[in-house]
Amino acid sequence: MTATLPDLIGQLARNWPHQELDRVQYERELADCPLDALAAAVRVLLRVPREWRPGIGDVRAAVAEKLLALPSERDAARQVDARIAWARDRQGDPPPVHALVREAVAHVGGWHSIRAADRPEVVRGQLLRFYRDARQAEIRETAAQDMDAITPA
């Protein structure tokens, strides 16, 4: 059974009963969100301990994160490590690396710079910091636009 938009908003309201929730505003602002992604986002928001009810922006950001399916920071680091290990051995096809992870690699000077760094932990920190910021920017930008036109990744 697929949840409806009012059902999902009701779940948010019931989880924080001591806080007023403007259902009409939530329905209006979340109407463009694909229901499957919205349902998944609400499940995550309900499972993460928090004192205050998530605002509309929080819900939209969680939906955008589901739609974009960007690698987590940990997964981005694993992709970089796997690609560097592949570069040493050159056996088989290169492992996949997400476009945003490749952008972060380029930001720190490319694959060679990562492999040849005197202080690899510093370069890795810079890469992950750039990736984290770029990932959050992508999520914010997506949350601010009409999401019904976004194809889930």
State whether 64 and 77 are in the same domain: no
**pLDDT confidence tier of residue 24, bands split at 50, 70 and 90:** very high
pTM above 0.75, yes or no: yes
The domain containing residue 32 runs over which residues?
5-68
Per-residue pLDDT, 153? 62
Mark 115-143 as b/e (b = at least 16 C-beta within 10 Å). eeeeeeeebbebbbebbeebbeeebeebb
Same domain, 92 and 52: no
Query: Residue 37: what pLDDT?
Result: 93
In a domain, 152, yes or no: no
pLDDT at 150 over 80: no
**What is the C-alpha separation between 36 and 9, in angstroms, rounded?**
14
What is the predicted pLDDT for the residue at 88?
A: 86
Q: Which of 50, 68, 86 is the last residue of a domain?
A: 68
Q: How many domains does the chain have?
A: 2
Residue 18 pLDDT: 84
Question: Does any domain span residue 34?
Answer: yes
DSSP 97: -
Mean pLDDT over the full length of the chain: 92
Q: What is the distance between the alpha carbons of residues 35 and 42, in angstroms, rounded to a whole number?
A: 10
Same domain as 41, residue 86: no
